[in-house]
Amino acid sequence: MAGADADGEGVLILAIETSCDETAAALVTDAGSVLSSVVSSQAGLHARYGGVVPEIASRRHLELVLPVVREALERADTSLGGVERVAVTQGPGLVGALLVGLSTAKAIAWAGGRPLVPVDHLEGHIAALYLEPDPLDPPFLCLLASGGHTLLLAVRERGASERLGTTLDDAAGEAFDKGARVLGLGYPGGAEIDRLAGDGDAEAFAFPVARVPGLDFSFSGLKTALLYTVRDLGERETERRRADLAASYQHAIVRALVARIREGVERTGLDRVAVVGGVAANSALREALPEARFAPFDLCTDNAAMIASAARFGGAIPFPNYLGLDAYASIS
Partner 1 sequence: MLILAFDTATDVATSALVADGEVLGERASVARTVLDDAHRLLAEAEAETRDLEALVVGTGPGSFTSTRIGLAVARGLTLALGIPVAGVSTLDALRAGEKDAYPVLDAGRREVFVPGPSAAAPDDLELAPGTVCVGNGAVRYRAALERKGAVVPSDGDERHIPHARLHVSLATDFGPVEDVLPIYVRTPDVKVRP
Interface ranges with Zn ion (CB under 5 A): 146, 302
Rule CB under 8 A: say whether 103 interacts with partner 1: yes
CA-based nearest residue to 214, from 290, 146, 268: 268
Among 7, 44, 47, 111, binds partner 1 (CB under 8 A): 111
CB of 202 to partner 1, least distance (A): 27
Site map (CB under 8 A) of partner 1, residues 168-207, x = contact? -------------x--------------------------
| Whether 80 contacts 122, CB under 8 Å | no
CB of 100 to partner 1, least distance (A): 5
Max Cα distance, the chain (Å)? 66
Residue 146 binding target from partner 1, Zn ion, none, CB below 5 to 8 Å by type: Zn ion
- List Cα–Cα distances, 316 to 202, 306, 312, 320, in angstroms: 47, 16, 9, 11
Among 23, 42, 58, 309, binds partner 1 (CB under 8 A): 58
CA-based nearest residue to 147, from 288, 281, 264, 272: 281
| Residue 162, φ and ψ in degrees, nearest 5 | -110, 130
Residue 302 binding target from partner 1, Zn ion, none, CB below 5 to 8 Å by type: Zn ion
Q: At a CB cut-off of 8 Å and minimum separation 6, what does 50 contact?
A: 177, 181, 187
Rule CB under 8 A: say whether 95 interacts with partner 1: yes
Among 7, 44, 77, 113, binds partner 1 (CB under 8 A): 113
Rule CB under 8 A: say whether 328 interacts with partner 1: no
Rule CB under 8 A: say whether 293 interacts with partner 1: no
Sheet of 22-29: strands edge to edge? 34-41, 22-29, 12-17, 83-91, 116-120
Among 2, 80, 210, 233, binds partner 1 (CB under 8 A): 80
CB of 47 to partner 1, least distance (A): 12
Question: Which part of the chain contacts partner 1 (CB under 8 A), choosing from 58-66, 217-225, 243-251, 295-303?
Answer: 58-66
Q: At a CB cut-off of 8 Å and minimum separation 6, what does 143 contact?
A: 150, 151, 152, 153, 257, 260, 261, 273, 274, 275, 276, 277, 280
Q: What distance in Å separates the CA atoms of residue 299 and residue 38, rounded to the nearest whole number?
A: 11
CB of 323 to partner 1, least distance (A): 4
Q: At a CB cut-off of 8 Å and minimum separation 6, what does 88 contact?
A: 15, 16, 17, 101, 102, 104, 105, 106, 116, 117, 118, 119, 307
CB of 62 to partner 1, least distance (A): 5
Rule CB under 8 A: say whether 110 interacts with partner 1: yes
Residues of this chain that interact with partner 1 (CB under 8 A) are 48-51, 53, 55-56, 58-59, 62, 65-66, 69-70, 80, 95-96, 99-101, 103-108, 110-113, 181, 320, 323-326
